[in-house]
Chains A and B, each alone.
Chain A
Amino acid sequence: MKKVQFNNKFIPYLFVSPQIIIILVFFIWPSIMAIYYSFVMQDAFGVSTQFVWFQNYKDALLNSDYYSSFGFTLIFSTLVTFFSLGTGLFLAHKTNSMIKSRGIYRTLLMWPYALAPAVVGLMASFFFNQSHGDVYHFLNQLGWKFDPTSDPFSAQAMLVFIASWKQVSVNFIFFLSGLQGIPKSVLEASFIDCKSNSKRFWTIIFPLLAPTTFFLFITNITYSFFDTFGMIDTTTRGTPMGETKTLAYKIYQDGFLGADIGGSSAQSVILMLFVLIITIFQFKYLEKKVHY
């Protein structure tokens, strides 16, 4: 690439400033504020502020609610990642092997991506509604005493379902482009070398999709940690019995509804560290295995 030389020293900084300002205002500053608040305790009106060292962290980590929320978040994100990746891959593989009307499927399967998580939650609250929800009645007719308002398992299952459904479209489109990136001749060579369709998929196609899968794995975990907030807020709001509270939702409840800014900031910082560790781990250990 050709290097551009600027006569004025400040012009290059001017060009990158929008990005830097965005990062500073929306990422760095809130993070610093969260770290600051996590070390102080304030009264409900923010009149008096007291520096309390690690008291907020201690309170959070000694609370059993925190661990049940932590546990739910782990199971929830694992299931959502698994189902949305699996379904996305399945649909992409099927669509890719179609000869006709592939474009129509591609377009239709992309649509859920356009919905905001809160809208997905709102739709779900109609479908799973006790008085007129079709899915509610269907599941109960199947013999499952499905009731998201009082049965934690039902509520959790519902959230896993809608959170996965929303993410399938993104995974689908990435997997589809990943599949189309596999050289045709490599596939043809494998047709000559391997008779079984399923074996060919797992020994050739799936390994060649590894870079895509790795990327989607990280984005899906991040999605289920943070972006599912809107869905939870428009459906269960953490009920029944606080069993559908992800860590992100608990932070919101404690901070904005419970007015415990210090406590929720401490939880944010812990969550931030946790996600940081997962991401470093993924890049360090998984990435080595996915490139060829």
Chain B
Amino acid sequence: MEINRKKMSYLNIKNVIKNYNNEDNIIKNLSLKVEKGEFLVIVGPSGCGKSTLLRMIAGLEDINSGEIEINGKIINNVPPADRNIAMVFQNYALYPHMNVEKNLSYGLKNRKIPKAEIATRVKDISKLLQIEDLLKRKPSELSGGQRQRVAMGRAIIREPKIFLFDEPLSNLDAKLRTQMRIEIRKLHDKLKITSVYVTHDQIEAMTLADRIVVLNSGIIEQVGTPDEIYHEPQSLFVSKFMGTPPMNIFKSKVYDNVANLFGKEMKLDRNINDNEVYIGIRPEDIYLEPIENSIKIEINIDMVEKLGSESLIYANIDNHNFIVKTNEKINKSLKSLYVYIKNEKMYLFSAKDEKLIKKQ
């Protein structure tokens, strides 16, 4: 299959609102554009509306107001089978009574595609996904990874305009998940079909996406490349959600741009208009050796987790939990430790609206 940019599709979501039975809106006036050939990952905690959003694109859920367009054509009232989308489901949703070959060809048969063409496509796809030997097997005779491939194949074979993935890797074990993640990305680079991928797993989001959408209770918190999302989180929510282990967050009073961090005063390099602020520090931005322009804090160690190349120190200061990630060797019997925090590595968020306070 050749990549033809003209044939690629884009998706436009305009002011979409969704609620069930007039309860609180699940999706609150959401607008989003997915560019041609882009791999967009929607990430958020469970219940944030990410699956609902995907299902609305697929046509499996109605929209209360707003518009969804594919290539500029409104598809609000187009039935799922006519939207020219393909979806990969979390539990694969293979047809249990059909063998792999029939699972792959079912959607094509219903679209009255000639038999010879179906046969070639089945052959091509099964070769691409290395499921040639499984064509005569029923889904119950396949392993999790094989089912996942068949589910992918059933979507690809249709040559859809848009690919939708609903947490497709969450039923696989950790090793297989990593492997399939790489395969999905490779496949996308090969086929360049515009894709929307929903997940709650931030590592999947970071590794797969061209752009990430962070969704929180029906509102887009931030849209950006994985680097932007990680290094320039625009809100407290994004900063807490992305990153393992999560960012350390403390609340601090501010007076005249001076914050109070566990009894130590620190002149901030940003202008703060409030008298209170959230301070966020990534675990990897905390130093164990003295560095310039930093403050020194003593932490009480609760536990040290050795991960091989790095160690995680779970600690507390004045009953605030505090995580440090370091490459240095840590003695497990250590009870306390001095760490160094640098002002410029800090993320500051307004205590009022929880938005990022930018550096000048």
A residues contacting B by CB (< 8 A) are: 183, 185-186, 188-196, 199, 203-204, 207-208, 210, 292
Contacts and interface: CB of A to CB of B under 8 A. Distances in A.
A203 B95 CA distance: 10
A141 B86 CA distance: 56
Contact of A190 (B55, B91, B95, B140): B95
Contacts of B60: 188, 191-192
Nearest to B140: A292
B66 interface: no
Contacts, number: 63
B93 A189 contact: yes
Contacts of A210: 97
B95 A191 contact: no
A124 B65 CA distance: 54
23 contacts: A183-B93, A185-B91, A185-B93, A186-B94, A188-B55, A188-B58, A188-B89, A189-B87, A189-B154, A191-B59, A191-B60, A191-B81, A192-B81, A192-B87, A193-B81, A193-B107, A193-B154, A194-B110, A199-B110, A210-B97, A292-B96, A292-B138, A292-B140
Contact of B97 (A183, A185, A208): A208
B318 interface: no
A292 B85 CA distance: 28
Contacts of B87: 188-189, 192
B82 to A, nearest CB: 6
Given A186-B93, A208-B96, A193 B138 contact: no
Contacts of B107: 192-194
Contacts of A204: 95
Nearest to B89: A185
B138 to A, nearest CB: 6
A194 B102 CA distance: 13
A188 B93 CA distance: 8
Interface in B92-108: 93-97, 106-107
Contacts of B58: 188, 192
B224 interface: no
A25 to B, nearest CB: 42
Interface in B295-346: none
